[in-house]
Amino acid sequence: MMLRGQRSESQNRRYNDGSTNGGAVLVELALLLPILLFLTLASVEFSQAIAAYKVIVNQVRNAARYLSTEAPGTGYTAAGCLLTNGNPSSAKPCAGSVLLPGFSASSFSVGIADAVNTPTTHRSQRTSADLTVTSATTINLVTVTASGYQHPLYFASFLSGVVGDTTSLTFGPISMTMRQIN
C-alpha cells in the first residue's frame, strides 16, 4: 500500500538516475546555447558602443567648456587635442595617446564654430528674440562637433548574420554649444 506523496520503486529509479530526461536536456541545451551566446555577445557589444558614445559626449563637452573660456578664434588645436587625447596641447601631434581607437581614423573630424569663423550664427547673439527688450544681453557662442567616429565591432565576425559585413558602427555628429565668456 502506497501513501500519498510516496513514489513507486520504478518512479524512484527514473528520478534518481535521470536517464529518461538526459537526452531532452542536451537537446534543449544545444538549441538554446547559441541563442544565449548571441544575446550575451550582442549585449557586450552594445554596452561597449554606449560607453564609447559617452566618452565622446564628455570629451566634446570638455572641449566646448575649454573654448568657452578662450578668446574667439583661439584655442582650436588645444580643444581638438583635449577632445581626442584628453589634454589640451597647442601643437600637433597631440601629447598622449588617443582615448578611443576611432579618434585616429581619417574619417573622424572635429569641427569648431565660434564668433570668428561663423559670425552669422555665433557672434553677438541676443538672449531675447524680442528686439524691444533692453535687458537682453549679447553673447558669443562656441560649438564643438565630433563627427565620423567609427566604433569597431569586436564580435562582428560572430554577429555577421545580423550586422552583415560591417566591422564598425558609425556614430552621427555629436555637438555641444556653450556661451563664450571672453
pLDDT in tens, 57-103: 999 999 999 999 998 889 999 999 999 999 998 888 888 899 998 88
Q: Determine the pLDDT at residue 132.
A: 59
For residue 136, the enclosing domain spans: 20-180
pLDDT tens-digit readout, 35-61? 998 889 889 989 999 999 999 999 999
Mean pLDDT confidence for 30-39? 90
Residue 23 to residue 155: CA distance in whole angstroms = 32
| Contact criterion met (CB below 8 Å) for 119 and 26 | no
Place of cell 556614430: 171
Question: Do 77 and 69 touch, CB atoms closer than 8 A?
Answer: no
76-85 helix and 22-68 helix, angle to the nearest 10 degrees: 160
Measured CA to CA, the distance from residue 64 to residue 53 in angstroms comes to 17
**pLDDT score for 107:** 85
- pLDDT on residue 133: 56
Q: Render pLDDT for 112-151 as a digit per residue (tens, 0 to 9).
A: 999 888 888 878 766 655 555 555 567 888 999 999 999 8
- What pLDDT band is residue 26 in, cutting at 50, 70 and 90? confident
Burial of 175 (0-12, 13-18, 19+ CB in 10 A): middle
- Quick check: is 120 in a domain? yes
Residue 1 in any domain: the answer is no
What global pTM score does this model have?
Answer: 0.75
Q: Which is higher by pLDDT, 122 or 31?
A: 31
Asked whether residue 33 is assigned to any structural domain, the reply reads: yes
Total domains in the fold of the chain:
1
Asked if residue 119 is part of any domain, the answer here is yes
What DSSP string describes 106-137? TT-EEEEE-TTT-HHHHSSEES-S-TT-TT--
* Domain presence at residue 38: yes
For residue 14, being part of any structural domain is answered with no
Paired with 169 in beta bridges are 151
Q: Which residues pair with 177 in a beta bridge?
A: 143
For residue 158, pLDDT over 70 is answered with: no
